[in-house]
A and B are shown apart, each in its own frame.
Chain A
Amino acid sequence: MSLLTIDGVWKNYHGHSVLRGIDLSVEAHEVVCLIGASGSGKSTLLRCVNLLETVDDGTIHLDGQEITDVRVDADDVRRRIGIVFQAFNLFPHMTVLDNITLAPRKVHGTGRERAEEEARELLGRFGLADKALAYPDRLSGGQQQRVAIIRALATRPRLMLLDEVTSALDPELVTEVLGIIRELKDTGMTMILTTHEMGFCREIADTVCFLDGGVLLERGTPEQVFTDPRQPRTREFLRSVLDARRL
């Protein structure tokens, strides 16, 4: 059974359909990369999986449970899913340590000492040991995003959603964030990520999905999608991305 199954999901905004019947299943330990132009529905799909948006049709199952059922406790579902946003969204009034331990302490009921110990261990693993007591505005964008990833990890999620996590970063800071994602893959974390970093996508993804106008046009291995795309629209998109790189 797949870890996550998305079945015929539709999402409308003001009479315009952003997602048009998306089907996608994600196995445990699989890394799925969503690519596509801005407005193709990638971020909306992630927000639907995390129940930050309600779907207008179709179903999403997590571990065999239908999470789009209106009777489901959304907080309980979100506890099993970690999400990281493009704009970090750290809590500015809390230290790095408090940002990370908030959910373990207040949602999962972990004691402060234990939560902080685990947080410090994660910070150490990702090279941020000396930033535990810093406030987010004292960190670089790359450091903030790494803290945001650790914050999501601290709740031991079954699934991580990464929404354009490097798009707001200076090029030299992208590398450190990509490093952390690579490490997550090595630990066997199941991830769905949206990105504009095609090289990274090709390297890390088990499956690449190309979204266009709310439709999942093409899915396959990175090898297949990048070297031999079946759809003309995919080919066009990849060519325009490569052209932009060259400029």
Chain B
Amino acid sequence: MTGSGDRDGATPSGGGARTPGDGVASPAGGAAVPSGGGAHAPADGAAITPDWVKSARQEERERLRRRRTVRSGSIATASTVLVIVLLLWVFTASPGWPMVRETFFDPGQFVSALPDVLSGFLLNIKIFLIAEPLILVLGLLVALARNLRAPVFFPLRALAVAYTDVFRGVPTILVIYLVGFGLPALGLQGTPTDLATLGVIALTLSYGAYVAEVFRAGIDSVHPSQVAAARSLGLSHGKAMRYVVVPQAVRRVVPPLLNDFVSLQKDTALVATIGPLEALRQAQIHVASTFNYTPYLAAALLFIVLTIPMARFTDYLAARSQRRRGQ
């Protein structure tokens, strides 16, 4: 057998010190069956191998690696600076630039509009914070309804399918118009008339359909063997969903869900079309009185300030789940 020969070769000095027939020598005995002594063999082997001293070859390899890292860093910086300079040049050298600078980048207008736009923006944040949990609940309920199999629930299941089909098909801005003007027109008792509330309802209906599909994809991605294992333990369909499938599904869909919420944050501006004084509406009022578009820029900046951290957080979560899967 060559196995034992290789083994001896790998332990240069220690071979002679060992009595034949103890743990390390067991491969020579042809014992493929694991024995008690076999489990200790690696530990014994480690004891007789000298500690690692970095070889000259490894030192050289690491030096080259460091140099390469420094070089990649400098190249990346240089090319980034070049691209930014080029872009600035293209903008500022364009024939319309002086006019654009005046109407979009007026510092005076920016400062005077910012307080109003900012106070409007607080309403955007409020709409977002109220709509988000409602969307999560609605989305999950719809996704679960589509998974119900008992015949009693057929109407619920059909309703869930119809809901996702309709609200994913209609543009969000139309949903906002329809809810904003249509719901109060019904004249039903208890119908909200507050414009921001109507905006929240419209956004919830529109995004709930997307989020339901995200949840459904997550639920479908849990392997059927997990359901089989749960059911075979005697868990009912509902309990198997609740304790086994949904927890795994939710973990998987957190990154795509956050992505939808980044999108929701900016779509709160669409509510401006039915009139509440949120950031875009405030900016519009300023623009209408000065014919300077800088307030729009102020509103855009505020949205970016809100969405970028969320986007980075999404990236971080996605990278983390990727790492976990790689283990």
Contact = CB atoms under 8 A, between A and B. Distances in A.
Interface of A: 50, 52, 74-76, 78-79, 81-83, 85, 87, 89-93, 102-103, 106-108, 137, 151-152, 155, 171-172, 175
22 contacts: A50-B232, A52-B228, A52-B231, A75-B234, A82-B232, A85-B228, A87-B225, A89-B228, A89-B229, A91-B229, A92-B248, A102-B233, A102-B243, A103-B233, A103-B234, A103-B235, A106-B235, A106-B243, A107-B234, A107-B239, A155-B233, A155-B234
A171 B38 CA distance: 14
A171 B235 CA distance: 33
Nearest to A78: B234
Contact of A93 (B230, B233, B236, B247): B247
Contacts, number: 61
Interface of B: 32, 34, 225-226, 228-236, 239, 243-244, 247-248, 251, 327
Contacts of A108: 234
- Of A90, A102, A151, A155, chain B has the most CB atoms within 10 Å of the CB of A102
A242 B212 CA distance: 54
Contacts of A155: 233-234
Given A81-B232, A103-B235, A107-B239, 13 more contacts: A52-B232, A78-B233, A87-B225, A89-B225, A89-B228, A90-B229, A91-B244, A93-B248, A102-B230, A102-B233, A108-B234, A152-B232, A175-B34
Contacts of A152: 232-233
A50 B229 CA distance: 11
Nearest to B237: A75
A81 B233 CA distance: 8
A176 to B, nearest CB: 9
A118 to B, nearest CB: 15
Nearest to A52: B228
